């Protein structure tokens, strides 16, 4: 679990506090619920899915480039010299 610190305007904090009390939840639980609901809303948006696919494609391209660079580096490196008398 991660800890997160945020700054809120006093009016927003007061509203959060009173609504949490009225709903019988802690402020922390109210914030967690609000974040979970907002993230679900974001994840359901078609443009977010398209952006996620574009990011996945970019990550795949970068990984392929890095793999190629490593393979080129390893194939271009001379084999370690063997010392006489060592097997």
pLDDT value at position 79? Answer: 65
Assess whether pLDDT exceeds 80 at residue 6. yes
| The pLDDT value given to residue 54 | 95
Predicted pLDDT of residue 59: 97
pTM over 0.75: no
Mean pLDDT of the chain: 91
d(CA 82, CA 87): 8
CA 66 – CA 48 distance, rounded (Å): 27
Please answer whether residues 30 and 19 qualify as being in contact, where contact means their C-beta atoms are separated by less than 8 angstroms.
Answer: yes
pLDDT digits (tens, 9 = 90+) for 43-77: 999 899 899 999 999 999 999 999 999 999 999 86
Task: Give, as one character, the DSSP assignment of residue 19.
Answer: H
């Amino acid at each position: 679990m991660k800890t997160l610190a945020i700054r809120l305007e006093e009016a927003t904090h007061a509203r959060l506090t009173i609504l949490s009390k009225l709903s019988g939840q802690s402020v922390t639980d109210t914030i967690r619920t609000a974040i979970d609901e907002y993230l679900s809303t974001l994840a359901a948006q078609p443009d977010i899915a398209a952006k996620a696919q574009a990011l996945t494609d970019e990550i795949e391209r970068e990984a392929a480039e890095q793999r190629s660079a490593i393979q080129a580096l390893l194939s271009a490196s001379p084999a370690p010299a063997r010392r006489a008398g060592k097997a």
